[in-house]
Structure 1
Amino acid sequence: MHVIYHELLPESYLLILAPGRPGQPESVLARWLRRARRSGKTSVWVDCGMLDSLSTEAARLLWDTHFQLQEQHAQLVLVHVPERVKRELLEQELGPASCIVPTLLDAARQAHWHDWSMEA
């Protein structure tokens, strides 16, 4: 899996993923997820719109990031997730699911809701 774009936004960290070569280790994805997690942002957005499928290792990395962010009172938001990728992710389900939204605008709304609910 490749990270083709990343940006530190005012309230979140955005990663846009693209397919890598089959069987290739997910070390690039792991590195970028770690960087996003350490950014201090309350929300990490991962755009999956260019993906056709998700490796078992990539699914596990996303789940691990989801739980690590929860411990930091932050959230992982998956955006533009194709149905096949969603199924592959849920097949590896390790607990309560991360937030999955259809658009980046919905991710922004989710981030505002999450920030507001943490203050209440």
Structure 2
Amino acid sequence: MTTVYHELLPESYLLLLTPGSPGTPEYALDYSLQCACRSGKPAVWVDCEFLGDFLSAEAARTLWDFHHLLQGQRKHLVVVHASDSVKETLLKWRLTPSICFASTMIDAAWQSGLRLVA
């Protein structure tokens, strides 16, 4: 299971993923992504900084499912601070245009097409 913390930002919905117990269903991730989709924000940013090098196959599949859902709503899913192995796990599920990856929150805003105000 991946424990998820979330924050409603002015132009996006931020999810912070942290490692949980291996082999446990990803209910928290699924629920948090449902909330993000209903938030009305044009972008969902998924911060993987605290995951380290592991993302379960179920979590990867859940992220892809919501990536497709958000694309249908003309919204963006951006994965931020993902390690190479987390990216690799996500890219194994590639069926359509790829999930956007960003190395910083500023890059996530740019990938989402958001304008930043200084």
Question: What CA RMSD, in Å, does the superposition of the two structures yield over aligned residues?
Answer: 1.2
Where structure 2 has 5 or more consecutive residues not aligned to the other structure, the ranges are: none
Residue 99 of structure 1: aligned partner: 100
Residue 68 of structure 2: aligned partner: 67
| TM-score normalised by length of structure 1 | 0.89
| 1:24-70 Cα deviation digits (max 9, x unpaired) | 11011000011001111110000011112111110111001101001
Q: Which runs of 4+ in 1 moved over 2 A?
A: none
Task: State the identity %.
Answer: 55
Residue 13 of structure 2: aligned partner: 13
Counterpart check, 1:48 vs 2:53? no
Residue 34 of structure 1: aligned partner: 34
Residue 77 of structure 2: aligned partner: 76
Query: One-letter code of the match for 1:103?
Result: T
Question: C-alpha distance in 1, partners of 2:109/2:84?
Answer: 21
Query: One-letter code of the match for 1:79?
Result: V
Secondary structure of the structure 1 residue equivalent to 2:111 = helix
| 1:82-113 Cα deviation digits (max 9, x unpaired) | 000000111122211111010011112222x2
Where structure 1 has 5 or more consecutive residues not aligned to the other structure, the ranges are: 116-120
Query: One-letter code of the match for 1:67?
Result: H
| TM-score normalised by length of structure 2 | 0.91
The answer on whether the counterparts of 2:80 and 2:108 sit within 8 Å (CA) in structure 1 is: yes
Query: One-letter code of the match for 2:77?
Result: L
Question: C-alpha distance in 2, partners of 1:80/1:114?
Answer: 18
